[in-house]
Amino acid sequence: MVINDQANQVLLGKLVDTFGWPTQQQYGEQGTRIAWLIVWHAKLDYQRRYYPLMRKAYQQGLIRQDPSQIGERLKRFSK
């Protein structure tokens, strides 16, 4: 499972670097949900990297997945 998570993180990183955070218009509901799950299963440094992009996309209505759980997790473990 760890190897699969890491592979997914690399793939998502390349996608985001090239096209920006995945939006529903680009990848549909399932695609944006998968991106959220990839970040949720990642280590904190990966979450810190992508949380601002997720939050911005959510605030702009580009994704439905609320990143607040990830934000709360970052707050809790950053102390």
Q: pLDDT tens, 21-37?
A: 999 999 999 999 999 99
For 21, phi then psi, to 5°, come to -65, 135
Q: Is the separation of the CB atoms in 44 and 13 below 8 Å?
A: no
pLDDT given at position 79: 65
Task: Name the token pair of 76.
Answer: 């809790």
Domains held by the chain: number? 1
Average pLDDT in the chain = 95
Domain holding 27, by residue range, is: 2-77
Alpha-carbon span 26 to 5, nearest angstrom: 22
pTM over 0.85, yes/no = yes
Q: What is the dihedral of CA 36, 40, 43, 49, to 10 degrees?
A: 40
pLDDT-derived band at 13, boundaries 50, 70, 90: very high
Smallest Cα–Cα separation from 33: which of 67, 71, 7, 5?
Answer: 67
